[in-house]
Amino acid sequence: MKESTLATKFMIAILCLGVAAYLAVYLFRGWDEGVATTRAYAYSLDVGCEAVGILIRAETPLDASSLGYVDQIVAEGAKAAAGDPVALLYSDPSALTTRQSIRTLEAEIEQMEYALSSGTQATGAAQLDAQVISSIAALRSLAARGDLTALEDSALHLRSMVFKRDYAYGDDGAAGQMSQLIADKRARLAELNSSLSQVATTVYAPVSGVFSAGADGWESAASPAILDELTAGGLAALLQEQHSAAPSAVGKLVTGSTWWFAALLEGENTGLQAGRRYTLGFSGDYYGQIEMTLERIALEDGQTLAIFSCRSHLADTAMLRIQTVDVITQTMEGIRIPRKSLRVETVREEQEDGSSREVNRYYVFTVVRSQAWEQEVEVLYTDPAYYLVLPADPSAAKRLRAGDEVILNSSGIYDGKVVR
pLDDT digits (tens, 9 = 90+) for 305-352: 999 999 999 988 999 999 999 999 888 999 999 999 999 988 888 877
The reply to whether 265 falls in a domain is yes
> SS in 3 state form for 158-170?
HHHHHHHHHHHCC
- Domain identity same for 155 and 98: yes
- Domain identity same for 296 and 343: no
- Domain identity same for 318 and 363: no
| 275 vs 307: CA distance, rounded Å | 11
- Domain identity same for 252 and 361: no
pLDDT of 121: 47
Q: What percentage of the chain carries pLDDT values higher than 70?
A: 83
Q: Which of 151, 169, 198 finishes a domain? A: 198
- Domain identity same for 228 and 183: no
Of 318, 256, 320, give the one whose Cα is nearest residue 74: 318
Section 168-192 average pLDDT:
72
Domain range spanning residue 327?
49-61+209-333
The reply to whether 126 falls in a domain is yes
pLDDT of 209: 93
List all residues 6 or more positions away from 335 whose beta carbon is below 8 Å from its beta carbon: 40, 41, 42, 43, 377, 388, 389, 390, 391, 400, 401, 402
Partner residues linked to 333 by β-bridges: 44
Section 21-46 average pLDDT:
73
- Domain identity same for 231 and 311: yes
Distances (CA, A) of 167 to 124, 127, 129, 224, 392: 13, 15, 13, 57, 70
pLDDT tens for 193-234 read 777 766 677 888 999 999 998 889 999 999 999 999 999 999
Distance of CA 207 to the CA centre of its chain: 34
Of 337, 339, 338, 357, give the one whose Cα is nearest residue 347: 357
CATH number assigned to the domain comprising residue 303: 2.40.30.170
The reply to whether 31 falls in a domain is no
- Domain identity same for 109 and 126: yes
Listing from the earlier edge strand, what are the strands of the sheet with 85-90?
Answer: 69-72, 85-90, 200-204
| 199 vs 92: CA distance, rounded Å | 7
The reply to whether 79 falls in a domain is no
The reply to whether 71 falls in a domain is no
